[in-house]
Structure 1
Amino acid sequence: MKYRAVIPILLIIIGFISAIAILWDQEFKNYVPVGDNSDLAVNSKMDLDFLKEGRPSYLHFFSEECTNARVNINHINRIITKYGSHVNFYIVNSSSIDAVSLRNKYDIPSSVQIVNDATATLTKSLHVKSLPYALIANSEQRLFFGGNYNNQNGLCGSGEIIWSSPAVALKFLINQQQPPIFPSYQLNFVGCGV
């Protein structure tokens, strides 16, 4: 008789632990920093063959295997629409989805160049450690800014992405101003590790 009361309690405890494990796997682990951005040297030359000279470049790092990156790419078009006449946009795709499928699935404008990086070799060579992430280069291809899309509560949504640190830094670059000082949670690498 004593053991009958213990079984429901054990089931509740197991259910609670399972729910926490699922939340960790799906959500919480994406907000734990996987590194800082000290490897990114602002004003260093970004010698990338695909960057077009004469205009600033915005590199958005993406992988379809990353939940945060999939959510984020649905909102990135707001930044592209707002600044597309001033900036060359690139999506560095480190997932197995091909460029045509990626463009069609996420409604990416034809003006955005998709750079396939299935092995993440380019991503790692640029010292990007998590996704989604953005690097912005000035018109001379020098690194101006590197940051994530988090606000203080997590990943920026549709209404907030225009105020994310990459979008704000881009606005400053277009206005020929130095970027403001952002808090570390907007600069460090959080999300899906590369």
Structure 2
Amino acid sequence: MKKKLLLTLWFSLLLLSVGYLFWKNEFKYSLPTPVPQNYKAIAMGSKIELGACCPFDQKPIFIHFFNPDCPCSRFNVPHVSELIKKYGDQINFKIVVLNKNKSFSIAEIQEKFDAKIPVYFEKSIADKCGVFSTPQAVLLDPSHNLYYRGNYNKTRYCTDAKSNYAQMAIDSLLRKNYHPSFNAFALKAYGCSLPNCTK
């Protein structure tokens, strides 16, 4: 009887441990990121003034908001690298690193993405674009109007071609579709909350 009780307790503890690990590493990142209390919403179509970091050159601007400590951001790196390679001659890509706890060099970030593109460490850019989680994609039209702000994909590994939201936004803008329609999943923030890598 004592052996049976110990076995039941051990099995229960094992199940709880597996459940906790699943929550910590998977499930919580599939939930929408809570909207911060002091969040200032930025409407689609709004003019985004980014200052000297984004001079006008008649090309759309794609800003990748990235936190190296965020698991979702890390899984997303190969997909973003592919977008940079595919559209780099038509779109100005930029990376904004959002991490209060560590410092990273521009070269380290460029190496992660295998791309020599501008890298910034300014949270004010996220505020101006209405970004409060990572990873997030922001696409500005050539006049710096907010065309898209949202997710890259429905899946954590960006493996579902039917839900490549950021790529769909790029394709739509390059086709000069100035009245895009995106579903709620594309536009709702998922991933790690700012300023720390937490949910």
Q: TM-score range by the shorter chain?
A: 0.7 to 0.9
Aligned to 1:81: 85
2-side partners of 1:6 and 1:134: how far apart? Answer: 52
Please report how far the alpha carbon of residue 122 of structure 1 lies from its aligned counterpart in structure 2 after TM superposition.
Answer: 3.2
Quick one: which of 103, 106, 130 aligns to 2:110? 103
Unaligned runs of 5+ in 1: none
* Match runs of 1:51-62 below 5 Å: 51-53=54-56, 54-62=58-66
2-side partners of 1:124 and 1:44: how far apart? Answer: 13
Moved more, 133-142 or 32-41: 32-41
Quick one: which of 34, 40, 43 aligns to 1:41? 43
Q: SS where residue 79 of structure 2 aligns?
A: coil
Please report how far the alpha carbon of residue 124 of structure 1 lies from its aligned counterpart in structure 2 after TM superposition.
Answer: 3.6
Determine if contact 1:156/1:164 at 8 Å carries over to the other structure: no
Determine if contact 2:70/2:134 at 8 Å carries over to the other structure: yes
Determine if contact 1:149/1:186 at 8 Å carries over to the other structure: yes
Aligned to 2:175: 175
Determine if contact 1:42/1:144 at 8 Å carries over to the other structure: yes
TM-score normalised per structure 1: 0.86
Q: How many percent identity over aligned positions?
A: 25
Please report how far the alpha carbon of residue 182 of structure 1 lies from its aligned counterpart in structure 2 after TM superposition.
Answer: 2.0
2-side partners of 1:56 and 1:85: how far apart? Answer: 11
Determine if contact 1:147/1:188 at 8 Å carries over to the other structure: yes
Output one character per residue of 1:84-120: Cα deviation in whole Å (capped at 9) or x when no partner.
111110111113322111112331x21x211123xx4
Are positions 1:31 and 2:38 aligned together?
no
2-side partners of 1:140 and 1:47: how far apart? Answer: 10
TM-score normalised per structure 2: 0.84
Determine if contact 2:60/2:90 at 8 Å carries over to the other structure: yes
Output one character per residue of 1:46-85: Cα deviation in whole Å (capped at 9) or x when no partner.
1112112121100111000001101111221211122111
Are positions 1:114 and 2:115 aligned together?
no
AA aligned to 1:41 is: A
Determine if contact 1:43/1:142 at 8 Å carries over to the other structure: yes
Moved more, 29-38 or 57-66: 29-38
Please report how far the alpha carbon of residue 35 of structure 1 lies from its aligned counterpart in structure 2 after TM superposition.
Answer: 4.5
2-side partners of 1:179 and 1:29: how far apart? Answer: 33
Give the paired residue count.
186
Unaligned runs of 5+ in 2: 195-199
Q: SS where residue 52 of structure 1 aligns?
A: coil
